[in-house]
Amino acid sequence: MSAEPLLEVRDLKTQFFTEEGVVRAVDGISFDVYEGEIVGIVGESGAGKSVAAQSLLRLVESPGEIVAGEVRFRGEPIVEFEEAEEGGALVPTDRMLSDEEMRERIRGREIAIIFQDPMESLNPVYTVGGQLSEFIELNRDLSSAEARELAVETLREVGIPEAENRFDEYPHQFSGGMRQRVLIAMALACEPSLIIADEPTTALDVTVEAQILDLVNDLQERYDTSFIWVTHDMGVVAEISDRVNVMYLGEVVEQAGVDDLFHDSRHPYTEALLSSLPRPDQTVEELNPIEGVMPEAINPPSGCRFHPRCPEAREVCARHAPAPKAVDESESGPHRSACFRNDVFEVGYEESAPLEVEVGAGFSVGETDAAGAEMEGEE
Amino acid sequence: MSADTEPREELSTSEGEAVDFGEELLEVEGLTKHFTSEDGLLAGLTLDWDGGVPRPAYDREWVRAVDDVSFSIRKGETLGLVGESGCGKSTLARTILRLLEPTDGRVYFKGEDIASMGSERLRTRRKDMQMIFQDPQSSLNPRMKVGPIVEEPMRAHGMLDAEGREERARELLEKVGLDPQHYNRYPHQFSGGQRQRINLARALSVNPDFIVCDEPTSALDASIQAQVLNTMNELQEEFGLTYLFISHDLSVIRHISDRVAVMYLGHVVEVADKEELFENPKHPYTESLLSAIPVPDPRMAGRRHILEGDVPSPIEPPSGCRFRTRCPELVAPEEFELDAAAWDEVRAFMRAVDRQSFEADEPATIRREHFGGAVPGGRAGEIVEDAISNVLADEWAEATELLRSSFEEASICARELPAYRVDDELGDGEHFVACHLHRDADQVH
């Protein structure tokens, strides 16, 4: 791992100001991305992973707003706040890159983003090749003939068959996997240092997903591009990432090298998530679901946000909120966990009384104990 | 399909009511469903303008969504049906329940043919066959309360009186893990997982034997999916249910199924006991599918063979084995007497020409890059040389056509529909595989 991170994220907070109240979608997350690595962000829907990805490029739209924290790309402040002289509220600093600088220097050229639905990212009334070469022409100052040539070459590189002939076809004439390849081609075309991929394979079939993951591995080796890979799929994370951030309700609860995360996880949420998964490589007779559902980010639980569903919650977990701390160190960097169960926290977890897991909304899951309600068969 | 099954005649004489556990509850024979790709009476009408006077022509394109599918489901078991999007698995499910009219074939439910049943008889039989859909949101009427939603099928089938229905609805809500107090709530007040539980309660209300579950947990998060799958397992045990469980997710299929059927482009290509199918797959498509799933364990990463290309159109599916156009193990045509290595080179070259993935400059370069310097001998070599000349003349389409017709279409895979029964090594059932690699085994049909 090189000394300086390519991207540094510190205490980033993004909130949505809705009629019902403030939704703290991303609530103080920190992580680094180094040159040439693939960093996974994994979590269930509503964990805030997509908002986190969009915040990195300042793509959050109203009513959402980045309210605090720092994002640095090669030392340059994409997001930076300071206290106002009067009142002490947080305001963006003067050093923070302007919208114009973001548009002209950063987005697309240095950091590209790939979204889940390729149909929405491509304009249906322009040809695929036209969109790609226009993008290249604008971002790389090439003539249109040169841009076209580079576009065909990039399409061939991402495995589009008959690239030359298909250049003039429209997005609807491409399959889902092929469209996602076009978006990868578009992301690659400006040779960015970092690509943020937000659930890029979720809408695809497994065999097509395998093709795309393979392609990304290939391209990453060849160009040494860094990736931030946002997904809900633990299998994809295991397959592709070097390091992983696990998000739960707006927070990063665990951060580790991929092998440590899966084989030595230090947070009960990660453990519970892994043991709730059916596996393709072995038969799991009994799944261990996580009790209850993830609460809304509008009114998160006190203390550790996972404590109402956590099988290992103690009384202290409801009172204090753990921030991620390094609990171990390996060649892939520090292993951080936001769980008091780890000794480094020294908050008296062991002495604290265990909590009964409360299950939200008065329904019992997992066990449907008959309790006298015996059903009579009709026959 | 099972050897220890009683003959069907006997089943039908018992008015199709008593089926013991482990015996066939549902038998599908040669089920076929074709759609016209356009709607309307005149949709297939085209005018041929050649030669001045327009001549009308009537020609409809048929989407062969499900083609000649046969399998059976035993009472009390879960048959997993897995395949990628567009393979026809949802169409198959709907055709089995006759929500879609079958084009051909028979569906025996408790010995009675649903496919040819009169509509009144069908209506009463539907009580025993329920379905759960993928999207728990759109399958619940947002303006109805949960209680009446669960009661509706009972009302439709004239079961119980109003009081009895309400009592049963409350019981069922509890059975599927919801609070009976929620009887008066609306669907939007529930989470996705809870809504799928409401769907389960509704399906169970008429006391069915058989439930078709079409991707019931695909819209749910992992931790919620586990809750719903566990509930489904418990309900199956308690009520003796039989499931046809459709999913694209092989992990879910492995967890929930007793036996598994794999579909590709309208055909069922392999059916076997779960352990047998996952540990000892025989069809190259099943193998590719299994190796494509990312395993939630980084130590297992990177061991896979990647399937090339896309699924062909179901309008003009390939002849013979429909997987042959992408199959990594296409059987070599016998007339060329190619060894395995030479055959691999020929096929790789065929794919490269089809995809135009190389630049045609020097014949020597092409020979070196694709055939290690020397093309195969004999007739095969002559064809390859002809294709190389085509490519050099920038006639890619001709080269592709020449190679395809000479090699791929000469293969047994293109000429005959495969259907074999192979030895089951890990299970105690039968192992059906539609692949000519196993042509030494017993042929089915």
Cα angle for residues B361, B365, B370 (degrees, 5° grid):
115
Which residues on A lie below 8 Å from B176 (Cβ)? 368
Using CB atoms and an 8 Å cut-off, which of residues 238-267 of chain B contact chain A? 238-239, 248, 250-252, 254-256
Q: CA B416, CA B404: separation in Å to the nearest integer?
A: 16
Instruction: Find chain B residues with C-beta within 8 A of A263's C-beta.
Output: 298-299
- Return the SS3 of A37: coil
What's the rounded mean pLDDT across residues B79-101? 92
CB proximity A196 to B under 8 Å: no
Test the A interface: residue of B25, B297, B391, B400 with most A CBs within 10 Å = B297
Mean pLDDT of B72-79: 94
Chain B nearest-CA distance from A248, in A, is: 12
Nearest Cα residue in chain B from A157: B357
CB burial class (10 A; 0-12, 13-18, 19+) of residue A120?
A: exposed
Strand partners, A196: A113, A228
Average pLDDT over residues B334-359: 86
SS3 A341: coil
pLDDT of residue A109: 87
**Residue B14: per-residue pLDDT:** 37
| Preceding amide of A63 cis, omega within 30 | yes
pLDDT tens-digit series, residues B374-394: 888 888 889 999 999 998 888
Q: pLDDT band for position B308 (50/70/90)?
A: confident
Q: How confident is the model at residue B313 (pLDDT cuts 50, 70, 90)?
A: confident
In the CATH scheme, what is the homologous superfamily, with its name and number, of domain B8-35+62-257? P-loop containing nucleotide triphosphate hydrolases (3.40.50.300)
Q: What is the dihedral of CA B408, B411, B412, B413, to 10 degrees?
A: -30
Burial class (CB in 10 A: 0-12, 13-18, 19+), A68: middle
Say what the pLDDT of residue A373 is.
35
pLDDT tens, chain A, 379 aa long: 457 899 999 999 999 999 989 999 999 999 999 999 999 999 988 899 999 999 999 999 889 999 999 999 999 999 999 988 887 788 888 899 999 999 888 988 899 999 887 777 889 999 999 999 988 888 888 888 999 999 998 888 888 888 888 899 999 888 888 888 899 888 888 889 999 999 888 878 888 888 889 888 888 888 889 999 999 999 999 999 999 999 999 999 999 999 999 999 999 999 999 999 999 888 888 888 888 888 888 889 999 999 999 999 999 999 999 999 999 988 888 999 999 999 888 888 888 888 876 554 434 443 333 333 333 333 3
Question: For A287, which of B226, B293, B307 is closest by C-beta distance?
Answer: B226
- Beta carbons of B275 and A283 less than 8 Å apart: yes
**Which of B227, B251, B356 is closest, CB to CB, to A289?**
B227
Q: What is the pLDDT of residue A357?
A: 60
**What is the tens place of the pLDDT at every residue in B253-303?**
999 999 999 999 999 999 999 999 999 999 999 999 999 888 999 888 766
pTM tops 0.90: no
d(CA B196, CA B176): 9
Strand partners, A335: A328
Q: How far apart are CA A41 and CA A233, in angstroms?
A: 10
Would you call A124 exposed, middle or buried from its count of C-beta atoms within 10 A (0-12, 13-18, 19+)?
Answer: exposed
CB contact (8 A) between residue A276 and residue B182: no
Longest dimension (CA), chain A: 79
Query: Chain B interface, mutation test: which of A365, A378, A379, most B Cβ atoms within 10 Å?
Result: A365
State the pLDDT confidence band at B44, using cuts at 50, 70 and 90: low
Output the pLDDT for position A157: 82
Which tokens sit at B30?
A: 């040669």
The answer to whether A210 faces chain B, any CB pair under 8 Å, is yes
| A283 interfacial to chain B (CB closer than 8 Å) | yes
Query: Directed axis angle between helix A268-275 and helix B222-239, to 10°?
Result: 40
**Residues A234, A202 contacting (CB under 8 angstroms):** no
Residue B53 has pLDDT above 90, yes or no: no
Q: What's the complex ipTM?
A: 0.82
Question: Touching check for B140 and chain A: CB below 8 Å?
Answer: no
CA distance B262 to B92: 12
Establish if B397 touches chain A: CB-CB under 8 angstroms: no
Query: Among partner residues B231, B291, B357, which is closest to A368 by beta-carbon distance?
Result: B231
Structure tokens, B312? 């062909």
User: Between B107 and B337, where is the model more confident?
Assistant: B107
Tabulate helix, strand, coil % of chain A (nearest 5): 30, 25, 45
- Write down the pLDDT at residue B310: 78
DSSP codes, A324-337: PEEEEEETTEEEEE
Identify all chain B residues contacting A211, using CB atoms and an 8 Å cutoff: 306-308
- End-to-end CA, chain A: 68
Q: How many CA atoms lie within 13 A of B334 on its CB side?
A: 3
Domain ranges for chain B: 8-35+62-257, 334-410
| pLDDT value, residue A175 | 82
Q: How far is B335 from chain A (nearest CA, A)?
A: 30
> What b/e sequence results for A161-187 when a residue is b if at least 16 CB atoms lie within 10 Å of its CB, and e otherwise?
bebeebbeebbeebbbbbbbbbbbbbb
Q: Environment class of residue A275 by beta-carbon count within 10 Å: exposed (0-12), middle (13-18) or buried (19+)?
A: middle
Across the interface, whether the CB atoms of A206 and B306 are under 8 A apart is answered no
Chain A contact set for B248 (CB, 8 A)? 205-206
A297 Rama class: left (phi>0) / alpha (psi -120 to 50) / beta: alpha
pLDDT band at B51 (very low <50, low <70, confident <90, very high): low
Asked if B177 and B227 touch (Cβ cutoff 8 Å), the reply is yes
> In B37-151, which ranges are E strands?
45-48, 55-58, 62-74, 78-82, 104-109, 112-113, 129-132
User: Residue A350: what pLDDT?
Assistant: 87
- In order of A99, A110, A112, A186, the CA distances from A103 in angstroms are 6, 10, 11, 16
Average pLDDT over residues B115-129: 91
What is the average per-residue pLDDT within B134-156? 90
How far CA A286 is from CA of A171, A213, A217, A365, in Å, comes to: 43, 30, 34, 14
Q: Do residues B426 and B406 lie in contact, with contact meaning Cβ atoms separated by under 8 Å? A: no
- pLDDT class of B445 with cuts at 50, 70, 90: low
| Whether residue B17 has pLDDT greater than 80 | no
Task: Please determine, for residue B13, whether its predicted confidence score (pLDDT) is greater than 60.
Answer: no
